[in-house]
A = this chain, B = another copy of it.
Amino acid sequence: MTGWYIQRGPESDVVISSRVRLARNLEEFPFPFKMNKDQEQDILVKVRDVVSGSKSDTIQNTLFVDMQSLNPIDRLALVEKHLISKDLAESQRICGALISRDEKISIMINEEDHLRIQCMFSGMQLDSAWDLCNSIDSEIEDRVSFAFDNKYGYLTCCPTNIGTGIRVSTMLHLPALVMTGYIKGILEACGKLGIAVRGIYGENSEATGNMFQISNQITLGQSEDEIVANITNITFQIIEQERTLRNELNKRNPFRFEDRIYRSFGIFSNARIMSADESLKLLSDVRLGINMGIIKDIKMETVNEIALLIQPASLQKFAGRPLSPEERDIKRAELIRQKLGSAKE
């Protein structure tokens, strides 16, 4: 596997990934929820045409993925990689996505807006993600007219995206903030600053492996650069707090700390049946153990690969066939052991 999500980026002890997406609509078409089939088709053709004529190799070489031609498992696997949204996967429209080979770029067509241009990087690379996103946006804008209002800026289907149409986010691994309960203060502070925080896979943070996505809620009245700088700034403050707490926890009782890490690792690498929830919880401890230098012989790349592959659709693609939930729990445990090199069979 070679996708960006396997690699370690800057500050990857806390920051899993950085993402920027822009919402754009073509001036001459109604918003997607008002389009007819012909218009849906027209948009697809037009956008693919623009992209294939790009001066940039990266953009030109994106691969068009037609949603209608994919089976549900393949569609869900793209959702699990954050390459498309759940809405696009389940959409009844003629729709699709242009995805770069390294999977850093994904341009969804006919989702909530005509275009959702998204760039993702591993670790803390918001600037790179924004630069790339911005350049794709400019390239496309050179050849089409986006719906734009001089007072409000870019017009979007949902008013919460109006103005810049930008959503800037980082995905953070915050086990020490959760263990100590200090995460509550972070959540409150973010709320006051107009920053949204959410668990990646659900509401209960422990069950989601202590992963949190922070993103801007405001898209109007601030420039893109300001929004990127704001999220960057807050992310670095959270990184600092998380790192301090990790060291304090470890210092206070190193045996207790190591014991927690290694118990999780022991179960993770030996179980024969494992639910998605449990695997995320254990994975969080293993990730922490590697980042703290406690677990030395497992690469973070392996952990990243496992984190991706243990999700339901990816797991079924890996197995090469549809699996019942019970079969998935068995296959998940098998995959983990195999990837960790601890499979005994």
User: Which A residues form the contact surface with B (CB < 8 A)?
Assistant: 255-256, 258-259, 262-263, 265-273, 296-297, 330, 333, 344
Contact = CB atoms under 8 A, between A and B. Distances in A.
B267 A297 contact: no
Contacts of A296: 344
A272 B258 contact: yes
Nearest to A272: B259
A259 B266 CA distance: 12
Contacts of A263: 267, 270-271
B297 A273 contact: no
A262 B255 contact: no
B267 A272 contact: no
27 contacts: A255-B272, A255-B273, A255-B330, A256-B272, A256-B273, A258-B272, A259-B271, A259-B272, A259-B273, A259-B333, A262-B270, A262-B271, A262-B272, A263-B267, A263-B270, A263-B271, A265-B266, A265-B270, A266-B266, A266-B267, A266-B268, A266-B269, A266-B270, A266-B271, A267-B267, A296-B344, A297-B344
A143 B59 CA distance: 102
Given A265-B270, A266-B270, 15 more contacts: A255-B272, A255-B273, A255-B330, A256-B272, A259-B271, A259-B272, A259-B273, A259-B333, A262-B270, A262-B272, A263-B267, A263-B270, A266-B268, A266-B269, A297-B344
From A255, A265, A297, name the one whose CB has the most chain B CB atoms within 10 angstroms. A255
A97 to B, nearest CB: 37
Nearest to A270: B266
The CB with the most chain B CB atoms within 10 A, among A266, A271, A296, A344, is that of A266
Contacts of A270: 262-263, 265-266
Contacts of A272: 255-256, 258-259, 262
A292 to B, nearest CB: 13
Contacts of A262: 270-272
A266 B269 CA distance: 7
Contacts of A333: 259
Contacts of A266: 265-271
Nearest to A254: B272
A274 to B, nearest CB: 8
Contacts of A265: 266, 270
Contacts of A268: 266
A44 to B, nearest CB: 46
Nearest to A274: B259
A344 B273 CA distance: 26
A50 B263 CA distance: 54
